[in-house]
Amino acid sequence: MTRVDDETHRRVAGLLRQTTLDLHFAHWDSTTLDLVQSTAFDVIIIGFPVSAAALSRFLEMARAEGAACHRAGLVLITQNESSAAANALVGRGANRVVAVDEMDTKLVSAVEDLASPAPRVPVKIPANIQLFSDGRPLRLMAQIQNLSASGMLLRGVTQFPLGTTFEFEIAMPDDPSPIRGTAEITRITDRQREIVEGVGVRFVSFEASDRVRLEMFVDRHLPGRASTSG
């Protein structure tokens, strides 16, 4: 973690004590660039805002081939007034944005998801989505491109901003009962790097035992599971 004030540092340290992760703090200076090139971290947390030139240089060094942090997740911690600028960087070097006043509810899940990403299964499954736009309920149909126990990649619905929450209903193959729950948009896909134009979402909650049903579906369809089972 770098470029945060003492209060934010204390709060992050307190929140991450409930995980198995170790927290390392580094000052935001030239030695930070050397650190991300030579030392592997699962997740990097940076306080935002930061100048575009400085962040670009940091990402160039951290994401360079051969850098120890080439595949590390990047979380930006931001004040509310800077959230829009930070959100624009998701998919362009950053992976998650967490506002200071939402750290208690969102930081741990963001860090854990990036530190140990759940295995994803490629699928083509329809999903019904219901959210509120301008105070009115809106129902949409989207297609799931991949699915994990923690989230999914949806084709479409790119008109909604990061942080949008919605109810979903997934029509599971060979199962008459859909899986229902609530999810949050965490990133917009980058069409230059990804073929799909859509959004990545994380699951927030499920109805009844639907989380267990989803985990069982993913487990059954992991690559190689069918050939090694039985």
Q: Say if residue 213's pLDDT is above 60.
A: yes
Domain residue ranges in the chain: 6-115, 121-225
Higher pLDDT, 162 or 182: 182
pLDDT, position 18:
87
Convert the pLDDT of each residue in 46-81 to its tens digit: 999 999 899 999 999 998 889 999 989 999 999 877
Distance CA 90, CA 140 (A): 24
pLDDT, position 175:
84
Phi-psi region at 91: left, alpha or beta (left = phi > 0; alpha = psi -120 to 50): left
pLDDT, position 189:
84
**Contact at 8 Å (CB) between 113 and 150?**
yes
Convert the pLDDT of each residue in 143-163 to its tens digit: 999 999 999 999 988 888 888
pLDDT, position 230:
40
pLDDT, position 192:
67
Q: What is the mean pLDDT of residues 208-213?
A: 93
For strands 43-48 and 179-188, give the pairing.
unpaired
Range of 128-132, 178-182, 193-197, 222-226 with top mean pLDDT: 178-182
pLDDT, position 178:
94
**Contact at 8 Å (CB) between 89 and 58?**
no
- Kindly report the pTM of this predicted structure: 0.74
The dotted CATH code for 6-115 is 3.40.50.2300
Confidence of residue 195 (pLDDT cuts 50, 70, 90): confident
Nearest alpha carbon to residue 67 among 79, 77, 57, 53: 57
Q: Say if residue 173's pLDDT is above 50.
A: yes
Q: Report the greatest alpha carbon distance in the chain.
A: 57
Q: What's the whole-number average pLDDT of the chain?
A: 89
**Reported CATH class of domain 121-225:** mainly beta
